[in-house]
Amino acid sequence: MTGDDVTTGRPRPPDWATSVFRAPTWLYQHRLGWLLGRRFLEVTHIGRKSGKERLTVLEVVKVDASTGESIVASAYGPKADWYLNLRATPAVWIRQGVREYTPEQRFLTPEEGRQVAEEFSEAHPLEARVANRVMDAIGAVPYGTFEDANDLFASFPMVAFRPAR
């Protein structure tokens, strides 16, 4: 079903798109996250207001083989709940593919984010080309806000996770 979102007045994505966006979460909830390999991870974090444990599945935009880091981006910007929670309290646990670990986390600088965005665009050109439309469909960024997909992607706050030493 499509229609306008009551809170924003923006068109909602079609049901099929919502199902696609939610598929990784469903797979992790059913202990099938390993089917996604290293492309997604589930982060366990603590709610900054509730103090309760929360689980969020995020797309990995880069795995750095030299550091062992997996980098994720907040498509909803610095006000996404999971991002604000990590700012308040570091992540507790990561599940990624068949790996599970207690993470160290760090927040990337805008310069590092720009570099990751450019590398992502080179590695995933189709996704980079449709990024503006996808961000518009999920209500994160209105279509046409950014002319260059790298500018769009570099505007997202990014977090890197790696196993704690």
DSSP symbols for 74-101: -TTGGG-HHHHHHHHS---EEEETTEEE
Q: Is 8 within a domain?
A: no
- Which of residues 114 and 82 earns the better pLDDT score? 82
Q: How far, in Å, CA of 22 to CA of 34, rounded?
A: 16
Of 67, 53, 73, 51, the residue nearest 121 (C-alpha): 73
Q: Is the pLDDT of residue 88 over 50?
A: yes
> Per DSSP, what are the bridge partners of residue 39?
none
pLDDT digits (tens, 9 = 90+) for 29-56: 999 999 999 999 999 999 999 999 999 9
CATH number at 83 reads 2.30.110.10
Residue 2, in any domain of the structure:
no
Q: Which two tokens stand for residue 12?
A: 């909602």
Residue 4, in any domain of the structure: no
Provide the domain limits for residue 129. Answer: 15-163
- Assigned domain for 127 exists: yes
